[in-house]
Amino acid sequence: MENFACPIPPVDLEHLDDRQAFLLSVAPFQLLPPAEIDTVAANLAEQTHPEGAVLFDQEKTLLSHILIVRTGRLERIIEENGRQTVQKNLTPGRIYGGISLLFNSGISTSTVRCIEAAGVYCLDRENFLRLCIQHRAFAGYFVDAIDKGRKPSREAASTAGSAEAAPKDSFLWKTVGDLARTFPACQAGTPMMICAQRSLWRADQQKTPPGQKRRRPAPAAGSGLFRRSWPARRRAAGRSWRRSNR
């Protein structure tokens, strides 16, 4: 398992063409314009993993990238009350990590393990979030994925007459209060993507080694979080006093 960004070695034109063709067959990348496909293809890193390798641990691994399965098969496992349940097999063309990055503070919502030797592409977190911000249809794919995952849970619960019968995904079954606490203070008009970026920053800072200085990201324009320094406030107060006494 890795919590660090995947290195991106130089890629020749032949491999770049292969990556572009592959991305055009993968949802939601097929929704992106050609220029973005070129950019994403150039920023992909390749990894290979043996059978049985655990790539992410549920509620433990902080994701620095999303995975796009290229070859082989992976399984996504949810653990609830000490019992593990395989939720889905990830085959070539499937993606993992988008929902974790957008809606769970970058923490993996599942354990991901290789059923067989697998090759994957990694797209770094920053490029992924940029695509979500700039292309609404791309981000909407992951919102729809949450809705589709939630609907079977509700149907299963109503059929069995008990919520205990529904598969309890560790993320989808969180309370509203739990989700609210994963985000830093944001005004009501702040876009969800900005809140997600700040939430990821906070998760990174929790892993900062003791003694190392923590740097806050610049507030987004229009967020209402800009603060003047004390000297700037004194100068502004002085100007206001002089105007009122003219």
For 82-100, write each residue's pLDDT tens digit.
888 888 899 999 999 999 9
Domain residue spans of the chain? 13-141
CA distance 224 to 229: 15
Looking at CATH, the fold of the domain delimited by 13-141 is given as Jelly Rolls (2.60.120)
pLDDT of residue 49: 97
pLDDT of residue 35: 94
CA distance 236 to 244: 13
pLDDT of residue 88: 87
**Which is it for strands 45-49 and 118-124: parallel, antiparallel or unpaired?**
antiparallel
3 state SS for 152-166:
HHHHHHHHHCCHHHC
Q: Which residues contact 69 (CB under 8 A, 6 or more apart)?
A: 90, 91, 92, 93, 94, 95, 96, 118, 120
pLDDT of residue 183: 52
pLDDT of residue 231: 56
pLDDT of residue 163: 37
pLDDT average per 10 residues of sequence, the chain (246 residues): 52 84 95 94 94 95 96 94 88 95 92 96 95 93 77 43 41 51 58 62 59 52 45 59 59
- What is the DSSP code string of 29-71? GGGS-HHHHHHHHHT-EEEEE-TT-EEE-TTTPBPSEEEEEEE
Tens of pLDDT, residues 2-54: 444 455 666 667 789 999 999 999 999 999 999 999 999 999 999 999 999 99
Encoded tokens for 242: 């002089």
What are the φ/ψ torsions at residue 196 (nearest 5 degrees)? Answer: -65, -40
CA distance 51 to 71: 12
Q: What is the pTM of this model?
A: 0.62
Pick the closest to residue 106 from 54, 182, 220, 214 (CA basis): 182
